[in-house]
Structure 1
Amino acid sequence: MTSRTITVHHVRATLTGPRRLGLDTVPLLQSARIPPLLLGDAHARVSPEQFARLVTAVRQATRDEFLGLGPEPSRPGTFAMMCHASIGCPDLGTALRRATRFYGLFPGGPDLAVERTGFDAAFAVRTDLRALAEAPFAAECLVLVWHRVASWLIGRRIPLRWAEFAHPAPPYAGEYGLLFGCPVRCGAPRTRAGFDPRWLAAPVVRDEAGLAELLRRAPAGLLSRREYGTTVAEQVRHALARALREAAPQRRTARLPEVAQLAARLAVSPATLRRRLQEEGTSYRRLRDQVLREAAVAGLAEGREPIAELAARLGFSEDTAFHRAFRRWTGTTPGAYRLLGRTGSRAGANGAGNADRERGQQS
C-alpha cells in the first residue's frame, strides 16, 4: 500500500475521548495492530489501515461518532441519516444547507455553516472548540469530513483555496499542506475553509448504492485524503505510487519515473512541471519521498518482507541508504519500527488469549 501514513499525534488524539471516559486504550491499540510503545515516539507514523481500525474501535467503544471528543455524544447512525437527507438534493448548496440544519437539531452537536466571504464560499465551524480536549484534532476532523462529504456528493474534489483554524499551530502543523492541499493559518478568529462558490451550483450525483459504500468506509475513510487526480501533485504521486504497486507482486526493484518522464506524460516541459509543483507548494523530490515513506511504513507494519528486500524493491541500492532515509522520515530505524509492531502484535495475541481463558474460567 502507498496510501498516506498518519502521524502518531493523530493516534494520540483519537485516544483522548476513550481516556476521558475511563476506557482502557491498550486493547483499542492492539485491535488496530498499533504497538502501544509507538505512542512515545513523536516521529512515529502508522498506516492508513491501522488508523482506520483504531477509529472504528474507538467509535464502537465510545458509542459516539465524534469519538468522545465533543461535549455531547453523537449517537451511531446520525451521520448516515444526514447523508440520506442530503443525497436527494438538486445541487451542493442545497445539500449542505440541509446537512447543517440536520446537525442543528441535536443539542451539543457541531454548529456548521456555509458562508460567503469576499469572493469565496467557506465551510465554517461556528462552535468554539478550543475548550475541548484535543481541540486541533476535533477542528481538523470537522473540516476534513465537511470537505470530503461535499466533494463526494458531487463526485469531484473541491479544491480548497485556504483554511484557517482558531487553535494555535500544533506540533504536526507541517502535515496541513497534505491534509488540506492549500495554505493554512492557525490562531485565526474562527475555523473555516474557503473554496470557489461556483461549486455550490454543482449537481449532486450520488445515490443510495454509493452512500452504502461511503458509510462502509466511514468515518476513517473520510479522514484520509482521497486523490481525485485534479492537481499536478496528485497526478505525479499517482504515477510514482503506481510504479511501486507494479513492482510489489514480483518483489522486483521499482523504477520510479523521473521528472522528464512525468513531464512527457503530462505533455509539459520539465521546467513547467517543476514550476506547477512549486505553485502547489511541493516538489518532485518531496512527493517521491512521501510515496517511498508510505510504502516503507506500510511494508514494515503490515507485511513480512525482509527489510533488505523491501529496501531493494523501493529502489535503494544499499541497505544503509534505506536506513538513513527511514530514520529521516520517522526518527527510528526500519528494524526498530518492525520490532515494535511485532511486540504489539504478540501483546495483542496474549491479551486475547488471557481474556479467553478468563471467560472460560467464569463460565
Structure 2
Amino acid sequence: MSRRTITVHYVRAALGGARRLGIDTVPLLQGARIPPLLVGDDRARVTPEQFARLVTALRRATGDEFLGLGPAPSRAGTFAMMCYACVACRDLGGALERGTRFYGLFPGGPDLVLERAEGEVVFAVRSDLRGFAEGRFLTECLIVIWHRLASWLIGRRIPLRWAEFAYPAPPYASEYDQLFGCPVRFGARRTGTGFDPRWLAAPLVQDETALEELLRRAPAELLSRREYGTTVAEQVRRSLVLAMRERRAARLPEVAQLASLLAVSPATLRRRLREEGTSYRRLTDQVRQEAAVSSLLEGREPIAELAARLGFSEDTAFHRAFRRWTGTTPGAYRLLEETGRGRPGQQS
C-alpha cells in the first residue's frame, strides 16, 4: 500500500525545540521507530505513522503543543479547547474566526488571521518566527493543521488555490507541492494560503463525539492528508495506488487509461494536472517512491517482488530509481531501518 512519506528535513526541524531544551532525542526517535542514523541522511524519508509518533513523543517530552519551537509554550489541552470552541459553530467561516480569536488570547501565541478579499479568502500566519531556527517549520505546521482541521469539520477536503511563504525556497522545496497540493510561491510578503470564499458557508458536519475521537488520534489524523477527491491529481494518485496494489499487468496504467477512467481526454487530463502544478510522470514517481520507502520500512516484502509490483521491468532500474530518490540502495535502506529498530541479531 502506498502512503505519502515525509522528508527527514521535517524530522530534524521537529527535534529542534527538544534539543534546545537539553532533551535527549535519541530515545524519542527510537520510540517512534525512526533510526537515529537516518536523520543524518538528507535524502531519507519516514512514514506518516513514524512522524506522528515522534510528534506525540515530543509534545510529552517538552510539555508544549508547539514542541518547544515557538517564542512561548502552548500548554497541553489548548488545541483541544480551541477545537471544542470551533465545533459549536454553524459554518466554517464562524469556526475559523473563533479559532483565530481563541489563539489571540494567549501572549506569545500564533498571530493567525482570516482575511476576506474579493473572490478569495486568505488564512495567514502573521507571527514573525524568523528569529527561531525552526520558525519556518512551525509556521508550515500551523497552516497544514488548520487546513486539515477545516476540511475535517465540513467533511470535504478544501482545495487550496495557492500557498506562499515569506522566505526563500529551501533545498527541499519540491516537498511543498505534495504537502499543500497547490501552486507554491516563496519570497512573498506573507505566509499563508488562499481558497474559494464559498467554503466559509459550508455547514459543519462534525460534533463533539466525533471531535473526541479525532483528538484521541491527534496528531496522526491531522498529519495524514485525507483523500476527499476534490482535485484531479488526487484522483489520479488514488487510481495509481489502487492499480499498484491490485494490478496483474506488467505496467502501471498510462495517461490514456487514467483519462478514460475519469471520463476526460488525455489532453484534458494533462492540462488539468498542469494547472494543479503537477504531471502524470511526477505523480507516478511520487507514488512509486512512497510505496518503496513504506515497504522497506515495514521490512517484509522481498526487494525483487517490490520492484516488480512498482512496475519496474528490471531490478537494476528499480535500484537506479531508488538511489535517485534516497541516495542509497534498497538493501542498504532496509538494513539501516532494521539496525535502528534493534531487531534480534542487529545492533541497536
Short-chain TM bin: over 0.9
**Runs ≥4 residues deviating over 4 A:** 252-255, 347-352
Deviation string 1:58-109 (CA, Å, 9 cap, x unpaired) is 1111121111111111111111111111111111111111111211222211
Q: Partner of 1:170: helix, strand, or coil?
A: coil
Paired position in structure 2 for 1:178: 178
Q: What is the count of residue pairs matched by the alignment?
A: 348
- The 5 Å alignment of 1:1-20 reads 1-20=1-20
Superposed, which structure 2 residues align to 1:1-363 within 5 Å? 1-246=1-246, 255-346=251-342
Q: Kindly state the Cα deviation for residue 240 of structure 1 after the two structures are TM-superposed.
A: 0.8
Letter in 2 for 1:150: A
C-alpha distance in structure 2 between counterparts of 1:348 and 1:24, whole Å: 24
Secondary structure, aligned partner of 2:96 = helix
1:305–1:197 CA distance, 2 compared to 1 (3 A): same
- State, as a whole percentage, how many aligned pairs show the same letter: 76
**CA 1:349–1:29 in structure 2 vs 1: closer, same or farther (change >3 Å)?**
farther
Q: Deviations over 1:249-287 (max 9, x none)?
A: xxx777522212211111111121112111211111111
For 1:254 and 1:19, locate their aligned partners in 2 and report how far apart those are by CA, in whole Å.
Answer: 48
Corresponding letter in the other structure for 1:158: I
CA deviation after TM superposition for structure 1 residue 3, in Å: 1.5
Partner of 1:355: none
* 2-structure distance, mates of 1:218, 1:345: 24
TM-score scaled by length of structure 1? 0.91
Structure 1 gaps of 5+ residues are 353-363
Q: Secondary structure in 1 aligned to 2:138?
A: helix
After TM superposition, give the deviation of residue 288 of structure 1 in Å: 0.9
- What is the TM-score of this pair, normalised by structure 2? 0.95
Q: CA deviation at 1:220?
A: 3.5
Residues 225-269 of structure 1 show CA distances to partners (whole Å, capped at 9, x for unaligned) of 32211111100100111122336xxxx777522212211111111
The one-letter amino acid of 1:54's match is L
Residues 257 and 213 (structure 1), Cα distance of their counterparts in 2 relative to 1, 3 Å cut: farther
User: Aligned Cα RMSD in Å?
Assistant: 2.0
Partner secondary structure for residue 15 of structure 1: helix
Amino acid in structure 2 at the alignment position of 1:203: P
Find the aligned partners of 1:53 and 1:246 in 2 and give their Cα distance. Answer: 29
Contact 2:339–2:347 (Cα < 8 Å) also in 1? no
Residues 89 and 225 (structure 1), Cα distance of their counterparts in 2 relative to 1, 3 Å cut: same
**Partner SS, residue 9 of structure 1:** helix
Which runs of no fewer than 5 residues in structure 2 stay unpaired?
none
User: Matched residue of 1:114: which SS?
Assistant: strand
